[in-house]
Structure 1
Amino acid sequence: MAIWRKALFPFQILFAGVVLLRKKLYAEGVISRYVAPIPTIVVGNLATGGTGKTPIIDFLLRHFSQKKELGVLSRGYGRKSKGFLTVHSNAPLSQVGDEPLMLAQKHPAVFMAVCANRPKGIVQMLQQNPGLEAIFLDDALQHLALQPHFKIVLTTFQKPWFDDALLPVGNLREPSCAARDADIVVVTKCPKTIDAESSAAFSVQLGLLPHQALFFTTLAYETHVRGSSILPLKEFVKTPFVLITGIANPKTLVDFLKGQGADFTHLSYPDHHNFSKKEIASLKAMQQPILTTEKDAVRLANSALKEYHTIGVGVSFLDNEQAFIDLVQSAIDN
């Protein structure tokens, strides 16, 4: 651990006290919690940074949106607006945030909305669409004013909560014991193969309770890229290109492309990065094919950069995918 991190231990103790007191006040009913009249399913994580929530929500919508009238409520990280807003496929990026807009474009039949106050957001959604049958809540695990019906908690294979520490020493927003409230735990960004012994050891270290279901997943990139034309990835990577990423952890994508034998220059920007005119001009001046993620493409859509390809990503369960679907189906039906 870095020396400067160790110096933050006193602040960690203070942070832990505030977090635990807040949880206690809600748990004992001193502060009331809102319970929605329809099933609400939280997809969240204990740590800051990208654990793969959006690909999981995308997976859930692909499986359930044709069977049920679903909604998704997000905070809308990075948006310039405040309060409640519905998100349509042509909504202004600055008003709704990149991830909600991307999901709205991929799932136009799903009622998408943003609101920092989750209870108020749910009430607004039900007023505007009384036919909603369930709502997925993106990154609302720490929003204690809401009492969800079902919790899906994510942790990455590379940095699980048992190998992390509470802020500001580590990256955890609340103590790892908070994971005991989860109904499902999903380990994301795993290697494509994990032997039974390793997964069993990982499960023990997570310290799950008997009723909690555990699943291991990996990111699965598409075998084609989309731009002015759709090209097989194996054809696209034959030419040197520039990879642009403004996501929390691009390493998985970088490693995947290297595994395809690709020759590329990687330009990495912070998560949710808004590209400046100067940056766009520099990209155009490179005069090479450009590849980016679906999330970054949302932020590039109205820029002067018109020629680029995107690569999509999904979630692949290493085993027991149907068991995961069945558990979520049961939560939606109940």
Structure 2
Amino acid sequence: MSFKNVINKKYKLLLPVSWLYIAGVRIFSFLYDAGLKKSRSYPLPVICIGNLSVGGTGKSPMVEYIVRLLKERYRLATVSRGYGRKTRGFLVADKQATAATIGDEPMQFHTKFPEITVAVAEERTTAIDALLQNERPEVILLDDAFQHRAVTAGFNILLTAYYNRFPGDYYLPAGQLRDLKAHYKRADCIVVTKCPEALAENEQQAIIHEIDPQPGQQVLFAALQYGTLYSVFGEGEGLPEGIATLLLVTGIANPEPLKEQLQQYKKEIRTFYFEDHYDFRQEDIDRLLLEYNAFKNGTAAFITTEKDSVRLLRFKTQLKQVALFALPVRHCFLLDGSKKFDTLIGDFIQNFEKPQIFYGKKSKEEKE
């Protein structure tokens, strides 16, 4: 597919900027490929989850999938940049952590999986060095780090959304690609996410042909599977009787699939879309409450994502008086994809061999 087919006409004026962007990415890549910038390996299994584009491929649900797969067998740590947080430096989530201190997605991981270590840092190498000295995890998951070459992960998972696959996309700002298409070759596994559940096998084969995987490179397909609505500040699941209007409040890259999912409730849906990772302000909450209070008591409910819900926690005093529900989402692999994916992850960890060169700080035991 030519990029001419996927660029909206109004973005064609941005092509010269995209060409400059491509040049910058190529220079950055060359520095690592030529060894002028060093990429560090570590003496434990490091799994990277990422994409070539900006947002919207389901990285957080994939991290959660792997956490559920491994948390009973290994000491796990997730490492994220902590996008949108108000702090800097290396931090490990604790009881005082909030979306403002560690970022919304790490806070989501911490809330759902308090038994694992959740760390954030601008530099992934800083976080890993610190974790090896203190928490000493057995497996590290790098969230949204495919394009960050400073760490050489042992296993790379590349996600691409079904509705905007990377072979037919173009570079920022005319398209959504932030990394070179050719870098898909570094992935050990490519997962086409957000697929229709009934995706035909012949279409799967056509997509595999489009991606052109390297020898040994697995291409799997997954759909989003939504869970049951649950009260954010209260107890219980499912919508209460009498709810006639759903007020959808989101700050995610692509909220339309969520809206489509809510249509099954056969209610009126009103949308309040904010930009991805949006930092809700008091005036936003005031406006939303004004909308809510316009409805007869008990006939409207706010619906949001789990990622958005952790950013709304700081307004608990105001929002605990209203009906606020979160809708969880998971990846559901098509056909036997789950078995294949689980086997790939399990085999990587079990067969992991420490790299001969380790650029991180050594522990006291390792020095001895």
Alignment partner of 1:116 is 2:122 = yes
Corresponding residue for residue 235 of structure 2? 229
Determine the C-alpha separation between the residues in 1 that align with 2:141 and 2:348: 11
**SS state at 1:220 partner:** strand
1:8-30 Cα deviation digits (max 9, x unpaired): 33332332222222212212222
Alignment partner of 1:247 is 2:252 = yes
Q: 1:6 to 1:84 in 2, by over 3 A?
A: same
Alignment partner of 1:295 is 2:307 = yes
| Structure 1 range deviating more: 91-100 or 19-28 | 19-28
1:20-43 Cα deviation digits (max 9, x unpaired): 222122122222111111111110
Corresponding residue for residue 326 of structure 2? 310
Q: Which runs of 5+ in 1 are unaligned?
A: none
Aligned pairs for 1:38-57 within 5 A: 38-57=44-63
Corresponding residue for residue 191 of structure 2? 186
Contact 1:88/1:101 (<8 A) preserved: no
Contact 1:225/1:232 (<8 A) preserved: yes
Name the count of aligned residue pairs: 332
Determine the C-alpha separation between the residues in 1 that align with 2:301 and 2:182: 47
Identity %: 33
Q: Which runs of 5+ in 2 are unaligned?
A: 1-6, 294-299, 353-368
Q: 1:58 to 1:160 in 2, by over 3 A?
A: same
Q: 1:267 to 1:8 in 2, by over 3 A?
A: closer
Deviation at 1:161, TM superposition (A): 0.5
**SS state at 2:314 partner:** coil
The TM-score with structure 1 as length reference comes to 0.94
**Structure 2 residue aligned with 1:324, among 338, 341, 364?**
341
Deviation at 1:153, TM superposition (A): 0.3
Deviation at 1:134, TM superposition (A): 1.0
Q: 1:301 to 1:255 in 2, by over 3 A?
A: same
Determine the C-alpha separation between the residues in 1 that align with 2:221 and 2:242: 29
Determine the C-alpha separation between the residues in 2 that align with 1:139 and 1:24: 21
Q: Higher Cα Rg: structure 1 or 2?
A: 2
Contact 1:246/1:272 (<8 A) preserved: yes
Determine the C-alpha separation between the residues in 2 that align with 1:275 and 1:47: 25
Deviation at 1:3, TM superposition (A): 4.2
Corresponding residue for residue 104 of structure 2? 98
| Structure 1 range deviating more: 311-320 or 184-193 | 311-320
Aligned pairs for 1:53-132 within 5 A: 53-88=59-94, 90-130=96-136, 132=137
Determine the C-alpha separation between the residues in 1 that align with 2:241 and 2:104: 26
Alpha carbon RMSD of aligned pairs, Å?
Answer: 1.7
Deviation at 1:224, TM superposition (A): 3.8
Q: 1:190 to 1:237 in 2, by over 3 A?
A: farther
**Structure 1 residue aligned with 2:217, among 212, 230, 238?**
212
Determine the C-alpha separation between the residues in 1 that align with 2:229 and 2:103: 26
Q: 1:289 to 1:5 in 2, by over 3 A?
A: closer
The TM-score with structure 2 as length reference comes to 0.86
Q: What code does the residue aligned with 1:305 have?
A: L
Q: What code does the residue aligned with 1:328 have?
A: I
Corresponding residue for residue 159 of structure 1? 164
**SS state at 1:186 partner:** strand
1:239-259 Cα deviation digits (max 9, x unpaired): 322121111111111001113
